[in-house]
Amino acid sequence: MAKKDQSQENNLLKDIIAHAKEYGFVYPSSEIYDGLQAVYDYGPYGVELKNNLKKVWWESMTRLHENIVGIDAAIFMHPTTWKASGHVDSFNDPMVDNKDSKKRYRADVLIEEKAAQYENAGDIDRAKSLLSAMGRLMEAEDFAALRDLLINEEISCPVSGTTNWTEIRQFNLMFSTQVGSVADESSTIYLRPETAQGIFVNFLNVQKTARMKVPFGIAQIGKAFRNEIVARQFIFRMREFEQMEMQYFVRPGSELEWYKTWADTRIKWHEALGIPAEKLRRHDHEKLAHYANAALDIEYEFPFGYKEVEGIHSRTDFDLKSHQEYSKKKQQYFDPEINQNYIPYVIETSIGADRLFLMTLCNAYVDEEVDGKQRTYLKFHPALAPVKAAILPLTKKDGLPEKAREIVEALKYDFNLIYEDAASIGKRYTRQDLIGTPFCIAVDHQTLEDNTVTIRHRDTTEQERLPIAELHSRLSEACSFRNIFKQLV
C-alpha cells in the first residue's frame, strides 16, 4: 500500500471508531477512568447488531444442520484442561521490545506485516519465503534466529524507526486467577482462552445425550480471554472477547474432505451476510499449530489491510486424545456403520463475534458526497441492522403521533423499532441513517385519510407510499434471516 493510501485507510478506521462511539455502538471500557486497554463495551445499537450476528451464526449452525447441536459451557474449567490442550505449555506469542522507543511488539506480527508489504508491492515470492522462514523458526523455537530475521529484513519499529530489538521472549497469553480462599498453587485456574475446550470435554456427554452419530458438530458462543501482547486496532484484538466456535467430529481419514467443505461453507456464509467476495480471501497457514494438520484463515480487507476474521482448523484427534490421556477416561465413539471404536477427528470453525462485528461495521460504513452534500450511513443487511424501522409522525399534532403509536403497537412484537416525533423529518432520517436503520416510516395527514404511509429506503433514500396493512409483510420479507439462509443451502 502506498504511503498516501495507508494514511487514508488509517483515517477511515479512525472515522469508523469515532462513529461507533458517537452513535452508540462501541465505547471504551470504563471510559470515565480513561478506559482499559483492549477492552470495550457495546452500546444500545452495538448490542443489537452483535446479538443479531450471534443469532445468525447460531441458527445457521444449529438449525440449518440437523447434525449440529449447541452447548453453553462455563468460562472456568478444571485446570488440567489447559495442560491437556497444550495451552499451559505452548499458548505463547513471541514478544520483542524496541530498545529505543520502548514499545512492545509481537515478532510474528511484525514479520507478517513486512510480508504483506512485499505482497502489496507485487513480490509474492519474497513474501512467501519470508513467511515460511518465520514458520520454520517459530516451529523450532529458535528465537535468536527469529530476531536475526527481523534485523536482516530491516524490520524497524514504526515509532523509533530503528532495528534495535531486544531478545525475543515467549509470553503466555492465559489469564489466571485463584478459586477458593487459600491461595496455593492447586487453586490456580484460568479464564478460558478459547471456547473449544468446553466442547471437547463435553464431547461424550453431548454425543450420548443428544444421540449424535459421527459426523456431527457441537456449536458454542461464549467469552474468551487472552492477555494479548499488543492490543491495537480497536475491537480487532481484545483481551476479553467473544468466540463462536463449532467442532465437527468426523471419521479419521475423512477430515481433509470435511476441512474443505467447511472452508467453502464458511466463505459462502460471509458472502451471504453481504461481504463482497473481493474483500474476502483465504490464507493457508504456513505455520501449523501443534494440534493441526491443515489450517486456513478467512481474511477480510479491513482499513488496516487483510486480516483474519475466522479460522478453519483440522485439529486431528489431538484434543480428545490428550483429554483421554490426562483424564484417564475413554473419549471414543463406536461407529455402528463400520463396527469400530475410534477417537473422532475434528474440524473446527472459529470466529470472533467482535471481529465479525468490526468487519460488518467497516463493510457497512458509507461516507459519500451526493449533490455536493456529505452523507454518512451504515448499509447493514436489513436482517442484521440493529433497528429495523423508525416510525415518524410528520408533526406532533393533529392525531399523527397517536396514529404512529398504533403502527408501533402492531409491529413491535416482531421488529426492533424506534418511535421519534422531535425535530424535522430530514434530521430524523439522518439520525436513522447513522445507525443503519433500513426503513423510515413517515405518518402524515394522508395517513389519517387512507391508512397509507411513506416508507423511505436507507440506501437509495427513495420513498414509496404503502398501505399500513402491508408494513408487516414488507418488513418481514426484508429483515428475515431467511434471505441469508436461502443462499447457504
- In the complex, the smallest distance separating the C-beta of residue 44 from ligand ATP, rounded to whole angstroms, is 22
Asked whether the beta carbons of 399 and 443 are under 8 A apart, the reply is: no
Residue closer to ligand ATP by CB (options 96, 479) is 96
In whole angstroms, what is the distance from residue 192 CA to residue 175 CA? Answer: 8
Under the rule (CB under 6 A), what is the footprint of ligand ATP?
Answer: 194, 226, 228, 237-238, 241, 243, 308-311, 350-352, 354-355
What residue type is 41 in one-letter code? D
Minimum separation from the CB atom of position 358 to ligand ATP (A): 9
What φ, ψ does residue 288 adopt, rounded to 5°? -90, 140
Residue 193: what are its φ and ψ, rounded to 5°?
-90, -5
Q: In the complex with ligand ATP, which residue's Cβ is closer, 333 or 345? A: 345
Please work out, in degrees rounded to the nearest 5, the angle formed at the alpha carbon of residue 430 by the alpha carbons of 39 and 26: 5
To the nearest whole angstrom, how small is the minimum distance from the Cβ of residue 436 to ligand ATP?
22
Q: What's phi and psi for 328, nearest 5 deg?
A: 60, 25
Crossing angle between the packed helical segments 107-120 and 124-139, to the nearest 10 degrees: 160
Amino acid at 42: Y
Instruction: Give 299's strand partners.
Output: 281, 308
Closer CB to ligand ATP, residue 156 or residue 349?
Answer: 349
Provide DSSP, 78-128: -THHHHHTTHHHH-EEEEEEBTTT--EEEHHHHHHHHHHHHHHTT-HHHHH
Q: Which lies closer to ligand ATP via its Cβ, residue 226 or residue 381?
A: 226
Helical axes 353-364 vs 3-22, angle rounded to 10°: 110
CA nearest to 262, candidates 214, 308, 296 = 296
Q: Say which DSSP state 469 is in.
A: G
Q: How far is the CB of 223 from ligand ATP (least distance, A)?
A: 11
Q: Which is nearer to ligand ATP, 263 or 404 (CB)?
A: 263
Taking the least distance from each CB to ligand ATP, the nearer of 226 and 428 is: 226
Question: Could you give the CA distance from residue 222 to residue 471 in angstroms, rounded to a whole number?
Answer: 36
**Three-class SS state of 354:** helix
CB of 243 to ligand ATP, least distance (A): 5
Q: How far is the CB of 484 from ligand ATP (least distance, A)?
A: 19
Give residue number: closest CB to ligand ATP.
Answer: 352
Give the shortest CB-10-to-ligand ATP separation in angstroms.
19
The C-alpha atoms of residue 402 and residue 378 are separated, in whole angstroms, by: 30
Name which of 195 and 447 has its Cβ closer to ligand ATP.
195
Closer to ligand ATP by Cβ: residue 149 or 309: 309
Name the minimum Å distance from CB 88 to ligand ATP: 16
The grid cell for 449 is 385519510
Nearer to ligand ATP, 197 or 350 (CB): 350
Give, rounded to a whole angstrom, the gap between the first and last alpha carbons of the chain.
Answer: 37
Burial class (CB in 10 A: 0-12, 13-18, 19+), 136: middle
Give min distance, CB of 354 to ligand ATP, in A. Answer: 5
